[in-house]
Chain A
Amino acid sequence: MKAAAGHTLKNAVYKKHAGNIISFVLLMAGSVIMLIPIFWMLSTAFKEQGQIWNVPPVWIPVPIILDNFRDVFEILPVDRLFCNSVLVSVITTIIQLITSCMGAYAFARLNFKGKNVIFLFFMASMMIPRYILTIPLFLIFNQLRLGNTMTALILPGCVSAFSVFLLRQFIEELPQEFDEAATIDGASRWKILFRIIIPLAKPGLMTLIIFAFMNVWNDFFWPLVIINDTEKMTLQVGMAFYMGAKKVEWGPIMALASCCSVPIMMLYLFAQKSFMAGITAGGVKG
């Protein structure tokens, strides 16, 4: 009897162990599959022309060369596109940060007529798909003679219902005592927002900054529609433009793809937690 019990226990432990090992192997294989495309992109970007189509594949390029980057630069002003992307993403993020902080503070802390109606409007607007706005925005910007400009790239991203929603949640959870005390001391609401709320809401702001930046940096549809000049393109549009060229050369394309993805990957490695927090906070479209 005792032996049998011991046997089942041993069996169970063994089974659990086997399960863990199988899961581990599966996870390992899965991760490798996930990472291969990224590795292959970087590897191709630094490869000699002759090795690109090599069979069997050359995983680590020897020698490491920069010719592919030079080739892209000859066709596209990559430095210019890079600056455009950085400028548009940074400016949009800053403006969105300001509008969201102010709006979220009003929704979270102040009482005013129409609060619920306005908030409901904001929430409902999250249901409006972006593509439906693209055609009218295209017309509006062209009528204002702002088509094909950086302004057109920046303005539509300056307010985000999701960011307002996210920050409002965050501010509502902060203790009210601090701003009450400050009000008694006679501080203005601006002072309260900038001196008390914003410093306390830093983790929420971090998430907002990262998502705003990522969404603008990765955006493709809007810049594709509104920008015509090579000089004014963002990296993403430049990438599509280059991929659509007649002669497909993977070395330079992967070099350009590396330029497009390295900043965002760095940002991710630097702020993993905020990325995950943003996603769990309410499912944003990436």
Chain B
Amino acid sequence: MKERLSVRQKKEMRDAYIFLAPCVIFFAVFVLYPFAYSLYLSLSQWDGGKITNITFSGLDNYKRVFADKDFYNSLKGTLVYTVGINLILIFASTFLAIVLNKKRPFKNFFKAAFFIPVVLPTTVCAAMFKWIFSAGDGLFNLALNAVGLPGQAWFQSPDLAMPSILIMSTWKWIGYNMVIIIAALQGIPEEYYEVGRIEGVNWYTKFRYITLPSIKPTLWFVIIIGIINSFQVFDQVYLLTRGGPLNRTMVLVYYMYVHAFEYYDLSYASAVAWVLFVILFILTAFQMKLSKAEK
């Protein structure tokens, strides 16, 4: 027998759809539709004139992507950045969170100091670092000179440009991970450590057998979010190096941007975007599986 809804239930459903309508409409128009549109674009050719002059071209754009040397170069740049920043952040912020999780004088000041770059616009951070890391008499070079080290050209140097971007990103994001990890640390029951204290274990054993297992899911979470975000790095590269010097800081989203909005090859750029999306999707799925298996 078909389930019949009472008048009240019907009214509830009608209300629910009305409440959901704004969300769903905006979502369909500004997320779902563009998402599908971008797939369509990536499978077609546009001559740059009227937008109606689009012809379906199958996988041509994807073939071009995989035949392009510069694509692999920017993929490499993205990987270097992603691996670099996540390695630095996971160690640095875990350490910082553990140190800050104890009662300390000025604890709130320290927390705020490490967190404040997170809220600043990347444009501002980039400007600050471009200025501080100026070649010649920039502030950072002056500091190096003071301890007897030679100054460097930082963002203008092929070998140091990527490390400089990593330094800036570490400065910007360390507080973000720190806050998440501190929250996880606070969730560990005090009794665990009490037992450890009675047993008289040293700090390493405490860390290895009490702290680490308790915050492992959080660390996985931080790494997944970190990879998703760092794979999409754009602002820093656009503002600081434009992919140079010698293409050493070329990353995928910047590569996509250049093709889309400087060469106006929007269908090719969409194909790049989709390749990037698929890589990211596989990576995250893989990681989620791994983190589940760990649990």
Give me the interface of A with B, judged by CB distance under 8 Å: 20, 23-24, 26-27, 30-31, 33-38, 40-41, 44, 53, 55-57, 98-100, 102-103, 105-107, 110-113, 115, 118, 121-122, 125, 127-140, 142-143, 155-156, 158-159, 161, 164, 189, 193, 214, 217-218, 220-221, 224-225, 235-236, 239-240, 243, 250, 253-254, 256-257, 260-261, 264-265, 267-268, 272, 275-276, 279-280, 283, 285-286
Contacts and interface: CB of A to CB of B under 8 A. Distances in A.
A137 B269 CA distance: 13
16 contacts: A27-B99, A31-B109, A38-B128, A55-B142, A99-B23, A102-B20, A129-B277, A131-B273, A155-B30, A159-B23, A220-B121, A221-B257, A250-B131, A261-B121, A279-B176, A280-B183
Interface residues of B, number: 89
Contacts of B118: 275, 279, 286
Interface stretch (B64-72, B83-91, B227-235): B227-235
B127 A257 contact: yes
A99 B115 contact: no
B34 A136 contact: yes
Contacts of A40: 128, 131-132, 139
A163 B40 CA distance: 29
A254 B125 CA distance: 11
Most chain-A Cβ atoms within 10 A of its Cβ — which of B16, B113, B253? B16
Q: Which of A23, A214, A283 has the most CB of B within 10 A?
A: A283
B266 interface: yes
A264 B26 contact: no
Nearest to A32: B113
Nearest to B269: A135
B31 A128 contact: yes
Given A30-B96, A37-B129, A240 B30 contact: no
B287 to A, nearest CB: 12
A283 to B, nearest CB: 4
A265 B119 contact: yes
A35 B118 CA distance: 12
A182 B270 CA distance: 51
B124 A57 contact: no
Contacts of A243: 123, 126-127, 130, 239
B62 interface: no
B154 interface: no
Given A129-B277, A131-B232, A135-B266, 14 more contacts: A23-B102, A33-B171, A38-B117, A129-B232, A131-B234, A135-B260, A140-B33, A159-B23, A220-B121, A221-B257, A261-B121, A261-B124, A268-B116, A275-B118
Interface in B28-68: 30-35, 37-38, 41, 51
A217 B122 CA distance: 11
B256 interface: yes
B120 interface: yes
A134 B254 CA distance: 13
B171 A34 contact: yes
Interface in B96-154: 96, 99-100, 102, 104-106, 109-110, 112-132, 134, 137, 139, 142
Interface in B190-220: none
Nearest to B24: A118
A276 B35 CA distance: 31
A112 B17 contact: yes
B115 A276 contact: yes
A183 B122 CA distance: 47
A158 B22 CA distance: 9
Contacts of B234: 131, 221
Contacts of B30: 133, 137, 155-156, 158-159
B12 interface: yes
Contact of B119 (A20, A23, A264): A264
A35 to B, nearest CB: 6
Per CB-CB distance, the 7 closest pairs between chain A and chain B, nearest first, are A103-B23, A159-B26, A31-B113, A136-B34, A112-B16, A136-B37, A106-B19
B80 interface: no
Contact of B38 (A20, A132, A276): A132
B100 to A, nearest CB: 7
A143 B257 CA distance: 20
A230 to B, nearest CB: 16
B290 interface: no
Contact of B51 (A27, A113, A143, A220): A143
B105 A283 contact: no
A81 B16 CA distance: 40
A229 to B, nearest CB: 16
Contact of B120 (A30, A155, A253, A265): A265
A258 to B, nearest CB: 8
B131 A44 contact: yes
Nearest to A31: B113
B239 A139 contact: no
A103 B38 contact: no
A87 to B, nearest CB: 17
Contact of B13 (A102, A107, A111, A127): A111
A103 B22 contact: yes
Contact of A57 (B126, B142, B270): B142
